[in-house]
Structure 1
Amino acid sequence: MEIVQSVLAGIANNIFNQVPILIGIIALVGLLLQRKPSETVVGGTLRAVVGVVILTIGVEIFTGGLSAFQAIVASAVGLDPPTSNSTLNDFLAGAGSAVPLIIAVGFAVHLILVRVFPAARYVYLTGHLMFWMSIVIAASLVEVFDGLPRTTLILAGAVIIGCYWTLQPLWVAPLMRRLMGHDQFGLGHTTSTVALLAGYGSRALRLGDAAEHDSEKLKLPRQLSFFKDINVSTALVVTAIILAAIAFADPAVVEEQMAGSELLPWAWGLTQALRFAAGIAILLFGVRMFLAEIVPAFKGISDKVLPGTRPALDIPVTFPKAPTAVMIGFLSSTVVFLILMGVFAAAGWFVLVPPMIMLFFGGGSGGVFGNAVAGWRGAIFGGVVNGVLLAFGQWIGWGLYGDTAPEIATLADPDWYAVGWLLLVLAQALAPLGAAGATWVVAAAVLLATVVILLVLSRRMTPDDASAEAVTPNRTEDAA
């Protein structure tokens, strides 16, 4: 048994948690299944991997700056982050050590569901979020059932996470098709809750018309036309924000974040803002290169192994569609969160920590999906929704995970709250059954609900629909 666990942990750590390797394997298998010439197989595989590496480098460049920005903003408003007796590192060293096994077994559950049910047509390939969402599920179960048997945690957690990976791309698929204009790939990301609220909320509120108010077609005075260049607007806006934060922050905190840099604080802040803009540009280039290879390569898997399937990919794949909406969503999300941070502090509720990385990706998600339905007004709304969810999510979530990993409340995307809190409620309600019994009932209920949903969706698919799904992956649908 220990050998099996070691093998599964090795697969999870060295493949699923290493996105370039995972994507490279998928591209290689897909091209081989299509019997492409050797030069195409080698070239296509390496271009897909290099595209992911470039994307990752772009993310690392600007998220590094966001981490420093987060500490400086917290200092500027005079707030200290919340503390707890338990930490994420402690959890991962204890019960959380089961997470790699949950990922490996859970992916097998996911592939079985995708293979059995025609409606389950997306294969979840966002490796780093496989890791984080598995932590959320494990922490939710352990928080209620201290001392839960390791095998029960692994198997039940695998069933739950496999069901999430199967359903999540489906519930956002109509909006994703509206945004992208095709169905060549789906969205596999834990900001799907924001996407749903931004898209359908914008429509329900009738905020605007997607074509008339498209953020990418905003008309600006000639003197401000440079804002239409996403690189220029990003650099200017982020520069203004970080310089303002540095001006009010504790000099000791700023110096700590500068990590021994010999630059003056304002010069260091300017370089960080410029690095942020450069990181976005690199990310978008990597996305385009990656998509150009993975979509045609995945056709081999779709044709030969998992008929009619598509890859479900990370949220940055949507950003090139509406980069201005990404910035609008990020800015509105950040402004709303900072306002709520002040409100929470004044009311004595909770010390919020500005999660700049989640504000960017969640705000960007809300921005592009809101824009797809209601233009720039929807982009603003999507950002506002993300800011509100992250603020109240931190406040509520920190206490919920006090005995396991409270940091997952401050590091969270909105799906972490939605899924984790639902599990907490279900587990607590079934607690009288005992730790193992209640956990298995929760896992069985999640699996049953998933199977019922997939059966209903599969039966609604006519033979023509199924054929179209398998043969024409670029079908468009204006379902939103």
Structure 2
Amino acid sequence: MKTVLDGIFAVWSYFASNILTQPAYMIGFIVLIGYLLEKKPIYECLAGFLKATVGYMILMVGSNGLVNSFRPILTGLKDRFHLTATVIDPYFGQNAVTDGVMKTFGRSFGDVMILLLIAFVFNILLVRFSKYTKMRAVFTTGNVQVQQAATGFWILLFAIPSLNRIEVLLVMGVLLGLYWAVGSNLTIKPVQQLTDGGGFAVAHQQMFGIALVAWISDKFKSKNEGEGKKKAKRLEDVELPGFLKIFNENMVATAILMFMFFGIIMLVLGKSYFSGVYASSDGVSGLAPKASFFFYILTTSLGFAVNLAILQLGVRTFVGELTESFTGISDTILPNSVPGIDVAATFAFGEQNAVTIGFLFGALGQFLAIGALILFHSPTIIIAGFIPLFFDNAVFGVIANNRSGAKAAMILPFFSGIIQVCGAALISTWIGMSKFGGYLGMFDWDTLWPAFTVILKYLGYFGIAVVALILIIIPQIQYRKDPKNYFLMVEDYDAYKEAKKK
């Protein structure tokens, strides 16, 4: 028996290490399975696998380029002002769990991968029985799953330390699997409306945030577009006068705005800091000796626009293959389902300036909140991480602009930035992760999961049932709002639109 279990775990470890936690191969693997189920010729299956994998790799080049170009700047702010602080960033959060879980709870980080397996299998089962659960999205973003499994592992150990190893893995596996299924399911409607039936959901760190922004944006619209009022202008509808017309071109607007944004921060840090980065990183992202500081700032700023364009190219390359191939999976294994994928996939469908506007106003909210933490002598000072700074707030800007116009695309990311910093400061201090320098810090983990932690901490075993029940009820409420068209939305979006018109 032990040999069989060891064999199963060895196969799982290989799959998890090489496919599940490598999103490009995971997406390619899904496309391959989908085409095989559709009984397409082998050469078409192989071509689909390669196109989807390469497309996702292109997306990751753009995504990693955005993160890597900005991370030294945020680290510089921490070093320049001698702040002992917690960085809100999924990778810093994962490292904090790796460093601290044994010291704090006497548990092994290796259990995180077993927890991930339980959660992933449970997510698939929930979608397989969508007739009863009303959950329609499979969470496929493997690197995000690892980060969330790590933070969820810590939260449960903090909340109910009396749980033994098996209980921790089973309880958090079930709760996390529910969160993945319910959260990605909540994004289906706003993403289908944004992409005009793109056939995917978001599986990331701000799924409840996307649903909340979509709901609030609709309230903006109903308030601002009432009887006798003009329709709210979207960013793409705003015609700027005179020389400001250059901002109507999204690539130009992104380049100029990022030059202003990056330029101010980099000037504050100073030329000597970036020269030091060059010396310590073999020239990866620093300023070479005798190089122009002005052109270094310019290159870094323009790199933002370049990486954003690369990211959008990657999305266009793989999303079509994924949507088409998933029909085979939906028709056979997982009826009435869609894949949940990286939030960056949404950036290719909305107004491109909304991505930049969402990022900038979210950054403004974060920096104001960080200033308030310093002013009021918070025990934990937060350093903005680029991933929540950009990926949360950019998608909020895109969704808000698409549904309610430019005003919502500015206001909602701004408040999101404040919430991210204040929520992360509170929860990371309370559960003890701030001591290890990092916390996941994305929107859902600054709002929803702190609330769940309170329930688990103070209600104990009963709290587990309460959290599970809350998550189970949400898709049931969604379904009851429109039972006739609920599954039609993912089966045939054109038919869904016709039905809604009637």
Provide TM-score, normalisation by structure 1. 0.88
In 2, are the aligned partners of 1:198 and 1:385 still within 8 Å (CA)? no
Q: Distance in 1 between matches of 2:147 and 2:24?
A: 17
Query: Aligned-pair distance for 1:444?
Result: 4.2
SS in 1 for 2:83: coil
Alpha carbons of 1:369 and 1:127: their partners in 2 closer, same or farther (altered >3 Å)? same
**Structure 1: runs of 5 or more not aligned:** 432-437
List aligned pairs for 1:221-300, cutoff 5 A: 221-249=241-269, 251-258=271-278, 259=281, 260=283, 261-262=287-288, 263-300=291-328
Structure 1 residue 189: Cα displacement: 2.1
Q: Distance in 2 between matches of 1:346 and 1:112?
A: 49
**How far, CA to CA, are the matches of 1:315 and 1:15 in structure 2?**
19
The offset of 1:454, in angstroms, is 4.7
Match of 2:83, as an amino acid?
D
The aligned counterpart of 1:345 is 374
Query: For 1:56 and 1:338, how far apart are their aligned partners in 2?
Result: 27
Aligned pair partner of 2:182 in 142, 146, 167:
167
Shift of 1:360: 0.8
Kindly indicate whether residue 340 of structure 2 is the aligned counterpart of residue 309 of structure 1.
no
TM-score (norm 2): 0.85
User: Which of the numbers 172, 181, 188 marks the counterpart of 2:196?
Assistant: 181
Between stretches 106-115 and 415-424, larger displacement belongs to 415-424
Structure 1 residues 315 and 83, CA gap change in structure 2 (3 angstroms): closer
| 1:245–1:42 distance in 2 versus 1, CA, 3 Å | same
> Match for residue 442 of structure 2?
413
Displacement of 1:226 after TM fit? 2.3
CA offsets, 1:368-413, max 9 Å, x none? 111122211110022112211112123212212316875453x411
Residue of structure 2 equivalent to 1:25: 29
Secondary structure at the residue paired with 2:173? helix
CA distance in 2, matches of 1:133, 1:405: 19
State how far apart, in whole Å, the 1-side matches of 2:371 and 2:470 are: 41
CA distance 1:454–1:273, shift in 2 (3 Å): closer
What percent of counterpart residues are identical?
23
SS at match of 1:365: helix
CA gap 1:219/1:306 in 2 versus in 1, 3 angstroms = same
1:63 aligns with 2:67: yes
Structure 2 residue aligned with 1:99: 112
CA distance 1:448–1:354, shift in 2 (3 Å): closer
| Farther off after superposition, 179-188 or 321-330 | 179-188
Match of 1:425 in 2: 454
AA matched with 2:301: A
Compared CA separation, residues 465 and 344, structure 1 to 2 (3 A):
closer
1:169–1:181 Cα change, 3 Å: same
- Secondary structure of the equivalent of 2:339? strand
1:332 is matched with: 361
Q: Which residue of 1 aligns with 2:92?
A: none
2:83 corresponds to 1:80: yes
Please give the alpha-carbon distance, in whole angstroms, between the structure 2 residues aligned to 1:170 and 1:308.
11
Helix, strand or coil: the match of 1:353? Answer: strand
Q: Which residue of 1 aligns with 2:429?
A: 399
1: distance between equivalents of 2:216 and 2:305? 30
- Contact between 2:424 and 2:446, CA under 8 Å: does it hold in 1? no
CA contact (8 A) 1:194 1:365 kept: no
Counterpart-to-counterpart distance in 2, 1:399 and 1:248: 29
Contact map agreement 2:78 2:85 (CA 8 A) in 1: no
Q: Contact conserved, 1:176 with 1:187, CA < 8 A, in 2?
A: yes
Cα deviation digits, residues 308-335 of structure 1 (max 9, x gap): 2111222112112221111111111111
- The alignment's C-alpha RMSD in Å is 2.8
State whether residues 139 and 405 of structure 1, in contact with CA within 8 Å, keep that contact through their aligned partners in structure 2. Answer: no
Aligned partners of 1:246, 1:277: CA distance in 2, in Å?
17
Letter of the 2:397 counterpart: G
Count of residues in correspondence between the two structures: 467
Structure 2 match to 1:435: none
> 1:90–1:324: structure 2 CA closer, same or farther, 3 Å change rule?
same
Q: In the aligned structure 1, how far is the partner of 2:269 from the partner of 2:476?
A: 55
CA distance in structure 2 between the aligned counterparts of 1:347 and 1:70, rounded to whole angstroms: 21
Q: Which runs of no fewer than 5 residues in structure 2 stay unpaired?
A: 88-94
Q: 2: CA distance between counterparts of 1:461 and 1:230? A: 37
1:114 to 127, 140, 162: 127
Of the structure 1 ranges 335-344 and 284-293, higher mean CA displacement relative to structure 2 is found in 335-344
